[in-house]
Structure 1
Amino acid sequence: MNNPVKVLIVDDSALVRKMLQEMLSSDPDIEVVGTAYDPYDAREKIKQLHPDVLTLDVEMPKMDGVTFLRNLMRLHPLPVVMVSTLTEKGADVTFEAMALGAVDFVTKPKIDLTHTFEDYTQEICTKVKTAAKVTRQMLERQYQRYVAGKEVSQSKAPAAPATTQKTEQLSSQPIQFNRRHFKTTDRVIALGASTGGTEAIKEVLQRMPANAPGIVITQHIPAAFSLPFAKRMDTISEMSVHHAEHRQLIIPGNVYIAPGDKHLRVGRDGARYICLLDDGPPVNRHKPSVDVLFDSVVENVGPNAIGVILTGMGADGAKGMKAIQSIGAPTIAQDEKTSVVWGMPGETVKLGAADYILSIDKIAEKILQLAEK
């Protein structure tokens, strides 16, 4: 970068402010221009210091982070990385912040960081530099979607709670992995995402009917957040959304989201597709990894698959999309305009692995068209 990214740290904890300042200042491409102890202090510092990116605490006195973010996105959109607690409440607030236009989030740094300090520093520095590339236009579009969604939800009567599909008990016989594709008309949609993906996935699932083909999803997300994310998606989709379990049957009308600390694979039990959870090492520095999911789809679903890659930082999933395409299954990548970060879909396009490059609002329709063929 020619000029360092100017960051304002907003957190009510003096210790956390000091830790974040130390971490971010260790990167020569980042300049911490100031810190603020609450949203009112932050408002004045934004006027004085003109930061490129904010790190914003979720829970603060006087005004919580989401209320401040809502005002910020309405009046003066800035890229924001949320700093969230590892609790279900923290997860819910963080997802609300992502809906409002926050670019990404990190979990709250722990005081005892001796063995993870370097990894955490790398994570937050990378996310801040990525956030700096997000345009004001993108933030404004996301906020307008949020407002429109709120208006629609307020005009509708409360929906009935989604029914939970019971997991069929499966045989304990070992699963055979091979390249022979069974005669079955069942489609499996394999979807991967990272930065900005929680909202992009919501955009897709909101448009899928209750009888859509089974969907398996790998989203880069902390382990404590994947279950709340699955629950959140279950409330907005006509499909039943699950936090994937080992050997869970994949059937139409259901969505399976990878736990945040396990790889999700698609396996076989006879002619049936099932979820397999894998506690192996990270792949492409991620666990769960999109490439791990996509490779298993190539192995066990073949041409019955549809590969989809959404917004995300890095290249995880691009090679997997190429592999899916090479066996005759269709592939879809989110376009640059509607992606928060055009990393993973962009790398897919560079490889020539995207049969269709579409805006996020067109992807569900294309999936359904392809599934009918």
Structure 2
Amino acid sequence: MGARYKVLVVDDSALMRKYLRQMLETQEDFEVYTARDGEDALRRIQEVDPDVVSLDINMPVMDGLTCLSHIMTESPRPVVMVSSLTEKGALATFEALELGAVDYLAKPDGTVSLQIKDQADELIRKVRAALGAKRRPRRSSGERVHPPPERLRKPLAAPEPAERAPEGLVLIGVSTGGPRTLEEILPDLPADFPLPALVAQHMPGHFTRVFAERLDRRCALRVKEIRGPSLLEAGTVWIARGDADVVLSRRRKGLVALGVPADERCLWHPSVDRMVRSALEHVPADRLIAVELTGMGDDGAEAMAEVHRRGGRTVAESEDTAVVFGMPKELIERGGADKVLPCHRIARQLVQWAYEGSGTAEAAKG
């Protein structure tokens, strides 16, 4: 018999503990334990030393965020948060990811979710991904930069080319570990970054608006969620709406991003693959910069490899910093990555490419 992994399920609802336990116990290599609140969880961690923890956010006695802070300080290990699909739940989830949680599962209908059993496959995928995830140290307070009011900050000095690059677009695909990774990269782009950026982050629809607003407060660039047809302008990062996909279209005023119903043929949404392939239909490949960040699976890898083959520029996050080295690894193995970089060096590379004035792919890759 192979290795067995201990999973601790923490939830104040006996019914939720039962459901989550039953879902996880379908896996022969999972040994599942439970705890009823944060205090009980800390005791159980000392007793059974779980490999991964599933942690509810809203609990009496000690809530999930307080428990998480204790876990990360006293006995760090992978944690998957379980939160409600509400604005409050989204805010708490992003705080948990900032504290060090690997991922989250959103309850579809409130604190006690009778529909949670429909998410068994997703829960199992996330727990398995968490088992192999790495913890990335946060930047020190001296390294982390928060933009002052009026978006005056220019964290990375822009080169001074004779002319700026022609019309282009940055495409970013990311999944597990993505919120923290994007918060490492996007705030380091200057306010006058000359290209628009489009981000497909696998995330529920109730979360992407809150995430865009959170990034907007931290970035020199404007960050917005795609709600209707959105003109792609320099100085703006567009976050694809969760539980849907994003495609591009040419309008009289220019290139527009559109939210469209999720394609059921794609496993993850917003689909990175669909976003990149749509961009290739409307923008010359040598004007595209495609970035594949942390995440399980292979969403976007083949499409970004096609960008590379057609003369575009591509970056894969390196294994050193990727929380889950799935999506970037797939791009690298397809021979589609011009650069393989840790997340803290990606913004600098984007600035370099964006400001190169020749407009030729060969010069840009040099």
TM-score (norm 1): 0.86
The amino acid across from 1:187 in the alignment is G
Instruction: Give the SS at the match of 1:260.
Output: coil
Is contact 2:297–2:326 with CA below 8 Å preserved after alignment? yes
Instruction: Give the SS at the match of 1:230.
Output: helix
The percent of aligned pairs where both chains have the same amino acid is 39
CA RMSD of aligned residues (A): 2.0
Aligned match of 2:25: 25
Residue 247 of structure 1: CA displacement?
A: 2.0
Aligned match of 2:130: 131
- For 1:25-84, what per-residue CA distance to the aligned partner results, in whole angstroms no more than 9, with x for missing partners? 11223220x211111111111111111000001111122211221121112101000001
Query: Structure 1 residues 79, 249: CA separation in 2 closer, same or farther (over 3 Å shift)?
Result: same
Structure 2: distance between partners of 1:109 and 1:215? 30
Q: In the alignment, does 2:232 pair up with 1:254? A: no
Is contact 2:19–2:117 with CA below 8 Å preserved after alignment? no
Unaligned runs of 5+ in 2: 153-164, 357-366
Is contact 2:262–2:270 with CA below 8 Å preserved after alignment? no
Structure 2: distance between partners of 1:152 and 1:237? 12
Query: Structure 1 residues 192, 249: CA separation in 2 closer, same or farther (over 3 Å shift)?
Result: same
Residue 240 of structure 1: CA displacement?
A: 0.6
Q: In the alignment, does 2:79 pair up with 1:97? A: no
Structure 1: distance between partners of 2:332 and 2:142? 33
Structure 1: distance between partners of 2:270 and 2:312? 22
Instruction: Give the SS at the match of 2:188.
Output: coil
Aligned match of 1:36: 35
Structure 1: distance between partners of 2:177 and 2:257? 24
Structure 1: distance between partners of 2:47 and 2:143? 34
Structure 1: distance between partners of 2:238 and 2:252? 20
Aligned match of 1:292: 274
Residue 14 of structure 1: CA displacement?
A: 1.1
Aligned to 1:211, which of 180, 185, 192? 192
Structure 2: distance between partners of 1:103 and 1:277? 27
Aligned to 1:329, which of 308, 312, 320? 312
Aligned match of 1:57: 56
Structure 2: distance between partners of 1:324 and 1:294? 8
Aligned match of 1:160: 149
Aligned match of 2:168: 187
Is contact 1:162–1:235 with CA below 8 Å preserved after alignment? no
Structure 2: distance between partners of 1:107 and 1:338? 25
Is contact 1:38–1:61 with CA below 8 Å preserved after alignment? yes
Structure 2: distance between partners of 1:372 and 1:264? 26
The amino acid across from 1:342 in the alignment is F
Task: Identify the range of structure 1 (125-134 vs 102-111) with the bigger mean alpha-carbon deviation.
Answer: 102-111
TM-score (norm 2): 0.88
Is contact 2:38–2:66 with CA below 8 Å preserved after alignment? no
Query: Structure 1 residues 324, 270: CA separation in 2 closer, same or farther (over 3 Å shift)?
Result: farther
Counterpart mapping for 1:1-373 below 5 A = 2-32=2-32, 34-108=33-107, 110=109, 111-113=113-115, 117-118=117-118, 120-134=119-133, 138-139=134-135, 141-142=136-137, 144-145=138-139, 148-149=140-141, 159-160=148-149, 185-212=166-193, 213-270=195-252, 272-302=254-284, 303-373=286-356
Matched length? 339
Residue 276 of structure 1: CA displacement?
A: 1.7
Residue 270 of structure 1: CA displacement?
A: 4.1
Instruction: Give the SS at the match of 1:366.
Output: helix
Is contact 1:309–1:334 with CA below 8 Å preserved after alignment? yes
Is contact 1:283–1:289 with CA below 8 Å preserved after alignment? no
Structure 2: distance between partners of 1:60 and 1:346? 38
Query: Structure 1 residues 69, 354: CA separation in 2 closer, same or farther (over 3 Å shift)?
Result: same
Residue 199 of structure 1: CA displacement?
A: 0.9
Residue 160 of structure 1: CA displacement?
A: 2.5
Structure 1: distance between partners of 2:151 and 2:210? 15
The amino acid across from 1:308 in the alignment is V
- For 1:323-344, what per-residue CA distance to the aligned partner results, in whole angstroms no more than 9, with x for missing partners? 1112211000100010000000
Query: Structure 1 residues 257, 203: CA separation in 2 closer, same or farther (over 3 Å shift)?
Result: same
- For 1:141-181, what per-residue CA distance to the aligned partner results, in whole angstroms no more than 9, with x for missing partners? 33x43xx349957xx8x942769xxxxxxxxxxxxxxxxxx
The amino acid across from 1:16 in the alignment is M
Structure 2: distance between partners of 1:271 and 1:15? 54
Residue 117 of structure 1: CA displacement?
A: 3.1
Structure 2: distance between partners of 1:283 and 1:201? 27
The amino acid across from 2:177 in the alignment is G
Structure 1: distance between partners of 2:54 and 2:311? 44
Is contact 1:88–1:228 with CA below 8 Å preserved after alignment? yes
